[in-house]
Chains A and B, each alone.
Chain A
Amino acid sequence: MRGNHRRIGRGVAGSLAMALLLAGCGGGDSATEAGAGAGSGDIVIGVPVGLSGANSVVAPSVVQASELAVDEINKAGGVLGRKIKLKVYDDRSGAEGAAQAFTTAIIKDKVAAIVAMETSSARNAGQPIAAKTNTPYIYTSPYEGAACGANLFLDGPVPVQMVEPSAQYFAEKFQAKTWFLIGSDYAYGRGQLAHVRSVVEAAGGKVVGEEYNPVDASDWSSILQKVRSAKPDAIATATAGGAPNVSFLKQWKQGGFEQPSLNLSLDEGTAETIGAAAEGVYFPSQYFTGIESEKNRAFLEALKAKFGAEAKTPNFLSVPQYYGIHLYALAVEKAGSTTSAAVIKALPTVSFDGPAGPVSMNKQHHAGLNIWLGQADATGKTQITEDFGAVDPGAQCPDLK
């Protein structure tokens, strides 16, 4: 029964998209004009996010960051004399929910743009819908790289930005020549560790072991046994976030290993949850709450002032979302219109200076980002140990400017 409903749902979405395409062909710009409206009224930004499912833990912080950005823009007089409004959709952290959310946002609610922190599968499902209608889509999550589209902009880091400076830092600081790579057996884990391997080998280092556990496995003893006999100088891990990372860190700590460990799936909030077991672990990020800058202090205070006790700790997923909303507003201002074509043209040319420094999506629709390396202490708090400065995303979409 359930399967049937789903199929029907898809059919409806498909025919709606079809209808819009036909309307677009017949009536010129009427579809976009009606919704994104060059004239009066609020400018509506669609925010599909995983209110349920895997992303539901982090989603509230993402929504708050979006609301804060909108507040700041509206308080400063809005854009082109109009106010910005948010519409939040639940993408259920996956492809199916995203297809529904994008269809509702773009076709029914006629949002002017999508700015969204989502899973990669949600992005892959939503982007065709946004592309068909040429809706500007700013994707604000760190991701695996090489997602390209004329309407698609990405202000989160790609693996090379995180991995390259971190591995170089390990090589210099710990003379790490031999590495053991440990991951969860899925695209993110294998993808990240492939980057580590290529960086390590390019620098003349050696990977002495590479092991994967199933995504839902909680026992790491046989992998730790192999680390013990391989005796690497350092390890790099890319497990699935949450449970597998927690169980790995606990067992690593219990095992009494002394090698420095680079964790590509840890973030400040999780480190705090794990507490003592995360002690000493290094992890890179394009945002830490401890960044010493006027802009970051102001950002943290503004969040507190707006949400009080309900304020969620900003993180590497919510901060790019905050940038995304601001970048969109700046692009509309510069374009002098909310027409998709004009905004898409303006988006790579604007830059926003926020809590993590200036960001501009001018590298083939990707952004050069400041990257820091953090280290968790015994209480689970993260200290910034190194500032890598601005790191280039490399060639992600050679066909785009």
Chain B
Amino acid sequence: MTIFKEEKGYLSLILHAHLPFVRHPEEKDFLEERWLFEAITETYIPLLNYFEGLYRDKVEYRLTMSLTPPLISMLTDSLLQERYINHIDNLIELAHKELERTASQPQFNRNANMYLERFKQSKDIFVNYYNKNLVNGFKKFQDLGYLELITCGATHGYLPLMQEYPEAVRAQIEVAIKTHKKHLGRKPRGIWLPECAYYPGLEKILKEYDLRFFIVDTHGILHANPRPKYGVFAPIYTETGVAAFGREQESSKQVWSSQEGYPGDYNYREYYCDIGFELPLDYIQPYIHQDGIRIDTGMKYYKITGEDCEKEPYNYQVAREKAALHAGDFMKNRIEQIENLTSLIDRKPLIISPYDAELFGHWWYEGPDFLNFLIRKVAYDQDIIKLISPIDYLEKYPKNQICQPPMCSWGAKGYNDVWLDGSNDWIYRHLHQAVEKMIKLATEINEPDGLTRRALNQAARELLLAQSSDWAFIMKTGTMVEYAVNRTTAHIHHFFNLFNQIKGGNIDQERLTELEQNNNIFPEIDYQIYSEFYSPKIKGQGEEIEIIS
């Protein structure tokens, strides 16, 4: 007879899966499209494979993932799906060549073989198992009850820096929810605010869309008013009843930190040694960018090894064992935390551990193994903690303290510093101007003819694409700045062109068609979401908004 001991607390792992919308039909080999392809091979497919294994083995768990609308849009786009197949075919060819080239170097040869098998498997899973649409995979495990899939801003727009235009915030939320529902079959119950960026008043809009919870960084809870009784170990309710859950520090640090965290272990794969940079150009040329720009291929043969030393060959088996040890260590630490909290808290505490999904696999190659081990260990090796989703916690504990979180984000320094900085502050004048114009158009034009409607809808798409927080972030970090600047200026430029054409009644149909084909995100968008009369109707700005029913 199995004796069930009741758990003493909960752990909520949250993976935020996001990439900005990058799709360039006008070029054959567009460098930045590889962000998606790499994430598919290294993160999304490995995660789905482990979900499949957990399902097969009937392992009980709950995991929360945000799939952002741009990511969903790219994963379901037929052009990018075909391009991924080309990409993975190319890698399979490279891996075959590598197998030959390294024939006399067993340690490298073993790795080349590992990559070949993985690439072949990726293609098989992608094409044959999920019919090129990985969203189907995530949906499968959602429908089976393992994944709680939540949404994000429509284009990951940084909401505190558009709060003066609540119609723009509303559009980010509504378009996200519609995209989510279309592809995942149900409305999301929670939202990952882009960059965990919250401002007081936002919850009023979230409530209108039946969103039950969002995540903030630790200080979003600790600095809330009145002081939250349970700290970050339980959610708080905003006045509207939408719950805020706070990121727990210690568990985050163990995984995130490249120095102190697990991913820095010397046995793990070294990200920065890639054959795309190491092998002679004439050999590697067909597998890097067509213009001869050296890039990561994903084939990396070395382990981190140590600091300032010669790198040694990577051994996946050893690394995998390390991932199992780290999963055990992570679990042990969470159990200790929960045990310590039990005497301090008069309810079962919850530890919220959010991470970027792409950290697992792409950056920390063994990350998906770690997650798989962790989920299995939590299920079988102990009975103190249980994996749940924030929504499950709200069902167990529907009564929570009402507190007002301050404006906050999870960026460096905890507020808007990263996205409002000398490197990127110039964008807001243009973004705000475009929003004002969009609201004006949507409010003034009720029954446009077919062509004008298309132009209005495309204007809304261009505006949303310009708002991606990714561009401001890239400008701040200083790598690939040109691309981010160009994406921002291009979308704003397209927007104002469309605005002028709509106002002037001289829409360039050919150009419009081209924009619709290139920037084809949100095909069903309705520009009316920007109208002042659109429901839920909002009065006021920023913190002071009122929803008019």
Asked if A and B are interacting partners, one says: no
Seen from chain B, the residues whose Cβ lies within 8 Å of a Cβ on chain A are none
Seen from chain A, the residues whose Cβ lies within 8 Å of a Cβ on chain B are none
